[in-house]
Chains A and B, each alone.
Chain A
Amino acid sequence: MMHTADMLKAFARHRGNAIVVPGRGGRHWVDLTARPGLDVPLGDPAMGGHACFALGLALARPEKKVILFDSEGDLLMGLGTLVTIAEQKPANFYHFLIDNGCYATTGGQPVPNADKVAYDVIARGAGYPRAFAFGELDEFSANLEQILSEPGPVFVALKVVAEIENAPIGRRRRWQTRTRDQVISDLRKELRIGD
């Protein structure tokens, strides 16, 4: 199992000028990113939609790589998303799944059937042409460059250590540095949308 921050550090070296939707990795990514204008840290607008949002971005900007760090709790709310992504076949879409086996922000309760779900198998069954699963950082790091060098859509399930939060929401450290409006506005500026 790997730590999310270490996994994102390994990824940061290969980010290039990709759009990154950091999902629940946002709290770590905010300290690692070199291109914040191309990051889309939205927190949690409505659970179950991150993969769909990133798909929409990928379809709108086929010339840019879109990298999503999804989470298993979010994906489980809408597994049908995988079928839609597979049908659309966005070659610029890279779907990483941060799987900590639980609902970490609500106190660490396990997701249903947490230890027995093979998300890479589900993705492949939904029609993703390539799907991988990694439990160790070394193995992930060794394969990452190759994974990102080939066309998407690709799915990469990552087993990570849970970072459980039990403090009341109002007392938690707020890692977001921009409002959602600002995030979208900055992205559109970087992409020269509306020029």
Chain B
Amino acid sequence: MNDAPAIALNPETVLGEMKKNGVTHVVWLPDSETNWLYLLMQAEPSLRLVGVTREGHACAIAAGLSAGGAKPLILIQNTGMMESGDSLRGWLLGLNIPVVLMVGYRGWTRHGVTQDSAATYTERFLLAFGLNYYLVESDADAPRITVAFDEAERTKRPVVVLVGDEYHGFNR
């Protein structure tokens, strides 16, 4: 049963947060929670999309972008975030990279009962790495994205935004 909130997170809202926070590059691997952003991001002239084939690559690319003065955003799924453990440790935490990771929260349910182990381990993984995170489910939550950007800059650490809103047909 899908218990997503009635008011969804619109891709225009997320794109607006990216622009507001000066994102220059989106380093990403498509997933079912964030694919509705693709066409909008592609059409946005201020953004350069960097597609990766494995999520850990996104961490090292973002580290290089940040070291070179750009402002990357990482857009991946929770499964890929878990795959990226060593890159998160070495390239982002190890080099003190102030970057926001928007992470599709596959398997997320508001009541917490899920059959998907990707959801079961997501927050445990973040806690184990000491990564702070914010949940975004709808447009009303979108200001938390700016909170995450501010925190990343202030702490010189990666900060995670969990996207708890599955694909609902905007990518058309």
Contacts and interface: CB of A to CB of B under 8 A. Distances in A.
Interface of A: 40, 42, 44-61, 78, 80-81, 83-84, 87-88, 180-181, 184, 187-188, 191, 193-194
Contacts of B56: 46, 48-49, 78
Interface stretch (B31-39, B84-92, B107-115, B123-131): B84-92
Contacts of A78: 53-54, 56-57
B67 interface: yes
A46 B50 contact: no
Interface string B72-107: 100000000000001101110011100000000000
A52 B69 contact: no
Contact of B69 (A40, A61, A84): A61
B140 interface: no
A188 B89 CA distance: 22
A57 B64 contact: yes
Q: Pick the most buried of A44, A50, A78: most chain B CB atoms within 10 A of its CB.
A: A78
Given A55-B61, A59-B25, A45 B67 contact: no
Interface residues of B, number: 33
B46 to A, nearest CB: 14
Contacts of B64: 52-60
Contacts of B8: none
28 contacts: A45-B90, A46-B86, A46-B89, A46-B90, A49-B56, A49-B60, A52-B59, A52-B64, A53-B60, A53-B64, A53-B67, A55-B61, A56-B60, A56-B61, A57-B67, A58-B64, A60-B24, A60-B25, A60-B68, A60-B69, A60-B70, A61-B69, A78-B53, A80-B54, A80-B57, A184-B95, A193-B68, A194-B69
A180 B57 contact: no
B63 interface: yes
Given A49-B87, A52-B58, 13 more contacts: A46-B59, A49-B57, A50-B60, A52-B57, A56-B60, A59-B65, A60-B25, A60-B66, A60-B69, A180-B95, A187-B68, A188-B67, A191-B69
The list of the 10 closest CB pairs from A to B, nearest first, reads: A56-B64, A46-B90, A60-B68, A80-B53, A49-B60, A52-B60, A45-B90, A60-B70, A193-B69, A56-B65
Contact of B91 (A46, A181, A187): A46
A84 B90 contact: no
Nearest to B90: A46
Nearest to B52: A84
Contacts of B25: 59-60
